Structure 1
Amino acid sequence: MLHLHRKKATVLNIVVAILFLFVAQDDLQAQFREPNLPNHDEKPYYFGITLGGNMSSFRTSLHSRFLQDDSVYVAEPNNNGGLSLGLSATLRLANRLETRFNPQLIFMNRSIRYVTKYPEGVENSTNNVKNIESILVSFPLQLKFHSDRIHNFRVYMLGGGKVDFDLASNARARRADDLVKLQKLDYGAELGIGFNFYFPTFILSPEIKVSQGLRNIHSRDANLKYSSVIDNIQSRMIVFTLHIEG
Structure 2
Amino acid sequence: MKKLIIVFAVLLSCNSSFAQLFSKEKVANLQTMDKKVLSWGYFLGFNSYDFKFEYEENLDDILVDATTGFQVGLTGDLRINNHLNLRFEPGVYFSTRTLRYNESYFDGQNFNPSDLLREVKSTYIHLPLLLKFSTNRINNFRPFIVGGVSTALNLASNEDNPSDNSGGQFRMTSNNYFYEIGFGVDLYLLYFKFTPSIRGVFAINDEVVRDIDPNSPWTGNITSMKTRGIFINFTFR
Shorter-chain TM-score bucket reads: 0.7 to 0.9
Give SS of 1:41's match. helix
Deviations 1:140-164 (A, max 9, x none): 0000011111111110000100000
- 5 Å-filtered alignment, 1:35-184, equals 35-64=28-57, 74-116=61-103, 120-121=112-113, 128-175=116-163, 176-177=165-166, 178-184=168-174
Q: Which structure shows the bigger proportion of residues in helix conformation?
A: 1
Check whether the contact 1:163–1:185 (CA below 8 A) recurs between aligned residues: yes
Confirm or deny: 8 A CA contact 1:60 1:233 kept in the other structure.
yes
| In 2: Cα distance, 1:63 partner to 1:86 partner | 38
- Give the structure-2-normalised TM-score: 0.81
Shift of 1:49: 0.5
Structure 1's 75 and 197: CA in aligned 2 closer, same or farther, altered over 3 A?
same
* CA pair 78-63 structure 1, distance change in 2 beyond 3 A: farther
Which whole-Å deviations, capped at 9, do the CAs of 1:61-90 have from their partners, x for residues lacking one? 1234x76xxxxx552333332110000000
Structure 1 segments (4+ residues) deviating >2 Å: 73-80
Q: Look up the SS of the partner of 1:226 in the other structure.
A: coil
Corresponding residue for residue 222 of structure 2: 230
Deviation at 1:119, TM superposition (A): 5.5
- Whose radius of gyration is greater, 1 or 2? 1
State the distance in 2 between where 1:74 and 1:146 align: 40
Contact 1:169 1:184 survives alignment (8 Å): yes
- Gapped runs of 5+ residues in structure 1? 1-25, 68-72
TM-score normalized with structure 1 length: 0.78
Name the count of aligned residue pairs.
Answer: 208
Q: Is the 8 A contact 2:49 2:227 kept in 1?
A: yes
Contact 2:66 2:96 in 1 (8 A): no
Higher share of residues assigned strand: 1
CA contact (8 A) 1:60 1:76 kept: no
Output the CA distance in 2 between the equivalents of 1:78 and 1:62: 19
